[in-house]
Amino acid sequence: MSPRKSVAEARRTRERIVEHAIAVASVDGLEGLTIGRLAMDLGMSKAGVLGHFGTKESLQLATLEGASAVFARTVWERAQHEQPGLPRLQAVCDAWIAYIETEREVFPGGCLFTTAAVEFDARSGPVRDAVARLYRVWRRRLADEVRIAVDCGDLPSGTDPEQVAYELVGLYMAFNQEIQLFADPAAAERTRRALARLFGQEQASSGGS
């Protein structure tokens, strides 16, 4: 086997482990990840799994990184070609709803980041720091999109981008809970109505009634 092929196969094996770890963690949390469980599920030896990560903490961090890449691909990248301003912000929000509602093959237990936030919010250490960093990055990006919408005149000049970003994150955490805990079939529509209210479009979305 050539060194190049060996490296490529090692990369594919690592990606396969991370993909399965994401699915497991979305249901059982990052603490539910163990080298032994992943080895058994994937038909690998413990040493084979351990060789890619070294420690459980490294596995957890790699799982967060992999899940973040999925989130970026399914939410941010889907909206990036939309017109800057409210159209792009709404496209981000629509893609975020689809991510929570339909990405069940990747996240069978719902949004991994919501699970991780609850799981690690009272702890300290690198995993908690990674979860907090991801949320800060996304909140900052949301605030930037709101700021662009204000600059384009799509939202009132007095809009506080940081406050809107704060409310958006809370709204989607609630949306995930409604789906996961209550299996509410109206959750997506409730979320869309809340978004319309937040963006000052409630009357337009209800047909002016």
Name residue, tokens 């799982």.
63
Residue with the larger pLDDT of the pair 119 and 203: 119
How far apart, in whole angstroms, are the C-alpha atoms of residue 192 and residue 74?
18
Quick: pLDDT tens for 162-181: 999 999 999 999 999 999 99
How far apart, in whole angstroms, are the C-alpha atoms of residue 131 and residue 128?
5
Question: Which superfamily does CATH assign the domain made up of 3-205 to?
Answer: Tetracycline Repressor, domain 2 (1.10.357.10)
Q: Give the residue among 89, 124, 80, 110 at the shortest CA–CA distance from 176.
A: 110
How far apart, in whole angstroms, are the C-alpha atoms of residue 185 and residue 178?
9
**Whole-prediction pTM value?**
0.87
pLDDT above 50: residue 204:
no
Confidence of residue 7 (pLDDT cuts 50, 70, 90): confident
Inter-CA distances, 116 with 31, 35, 45, Å: 9, 19, 27
Q: In this predicted structure, what is the pLDDT of residue 5?
A: 62
Cα of 146 vs its chain's centroid, Å: 19
% of the chain residues with pLDDT over 70: 94
Per-domain residue ranges for the chain? 3-205
Write the DSSP assignment of 31-45 as a string of letters: GG--HHHHHHHHT--
pLDDT above 90: residue 201:
no
Tokens of 72: 């970026």
